[in-house]
Amino acid sequence: MKNKILILSSILAACILMVAACKKIEDADSTVISTSIPFLYEVNINDAYVYGQGQTHIYTDLPDVIAIAVDTIVGFEGGYGGHTGADTVKILKSDITGWPDTSGIGGKSITFVKFNKANYKVALSSNIVIAGAIPNPGPTAMEGTYKRTSNGVLIEIKKVFDGVYVIDNPGGAGVAPFPYLLYNYRNSSGGDSLAFPIQGNPCHGGLQLVGPSAPLSLSSAEYTASYPPAITATSPLTLSWKVFEFGEARSSAIHPGAALCQWGTGVRTFEKQ
């Protein structure tokens, strides 16, 4: 009988504790908050823009609508449509966080940001490269349309200054354009000498054009010194190089011995049209 009384007492005490605990939870002040990370549905700007010093017109080159962002959980102030009635918002040219000084030579960046109603942001950026003139440009005009001999893909080399050019498809294949600087210097004998220093690429690493006989796994500085891209013929003007990718855009970077992002390591040859 005593054991039954002890068991019943224990059960009663446990119930009292459970009720008290439940009461405490019910009394707690809690609020469910919806949060969401917005994402970019459409992007209308390039990863990079290249200009000659004094020739910058980045503002007019950017579209009025930089991108379109979407958030189907909390939406955006000023948004429209969708589940929340404000799922979609346009990121405008006027939403830039600050215009950089583009008067000097070098790399700049522009950034656009939009916040959703939960104060989470979506951001995108683009690079601006300002190229300067060189004092000793090579004698040959490099600008024009070139055809890759192995597949017929056409690429454009555009003049910025004498001896300074922009090329946005150095591999001659179906990839999104990304601008790089190609230089043509006058060498000691009065001829042409191509140069393509390592530069940032869309994969956040480095890219360098090297000569057709360049081996794998050297440093960028070694390629610059000994294996520049080549002019292999003058009629028609024919250019030849390999596209090497690096983990970073530094002269000390070592080539990994294989493709990293967009380009294989084979020789690419282009004839001017």
What mean pLDDT comes out for the span 26-37?
56
What mean pLDDT comes out for the span 191-200?
96
On the question of pLDDT at 15 being above 50, the answer is no
Of 111 and 106, the one with more pLDDT = 111
Closest CA to 246 of 227, 230, 265, 228: 265
Of 105 and 143, the one with more pLDDT = 143
pLDDT of res. 98: 83
Of 15 and 121, the one with more pLDDT = 121
On the question of pLDDT at 29 being above 70, the answer is no
The pLDDT tens digits for 87-98 are 999 999 988 888
Mean pLDDT, the chain, rounded, equals: 88
pLDDT of res. 97: 82
On the question of pLDDT at 199 being above 50, the answer is yes
On the question of pLDDT at 20 being above 80, the answer is no
Q: Sign of the CA dihedral 56, 138, 143, 168? A: negative
Of 12 and 180, the one with more pLDDT = 180
Calculate what percentage of the chain has a pLDDT beyond 90: 74
The pLDDT tens digits for 117-161 are 999 999 998 989 899 999 999 999 999 999 999 999 999 999 999
Of 39 and 22, the one with more pLDDT = 39
pLDDT of res. 47: 86
The pLDDT tens digits for 223-236 are 999 999 999 999 99
What mean pLDDT comes out for the span 220-249?
97
Under the banding of pLDDT at 50, 70 and 90, the label for residue 25 is very low
3-state SS track over the chain: CHHHHHHHHHHHHHHHHHHHHHHHHHHCCCCCCCCCCCEEEEECCCCEEEEECCCCCHHHHCCCEEEEEECCCCCCCCCEECCCCECEEEEEHHHECCCCCCCCCEEEEEEEEEECCCCCEEEEEEEEEEECCCCCECCCCCCEEEEECCCCCEEEEEEEECCEEEECCCCCCCCCCCCEEEEEEECCCCCEEEECCCEECCCCCEEEEECCCCCCCCEHHHHHHHCCCEEEEECCEEEEEEEEEECCCCCCCECCCCCCCCCCCCEEEEEEC
Under the banding of pLDDT at 50, 70 and 90, the label for residue 2 is very low
What mean pLDDT comes out for the span 225-254?
97
pLDDT of res. 14: 40
- Domains annotated on the chain, with CATH: 39-131 (2.60.40), 144-272 (no CATH)
pLDDT of res. 34: 59
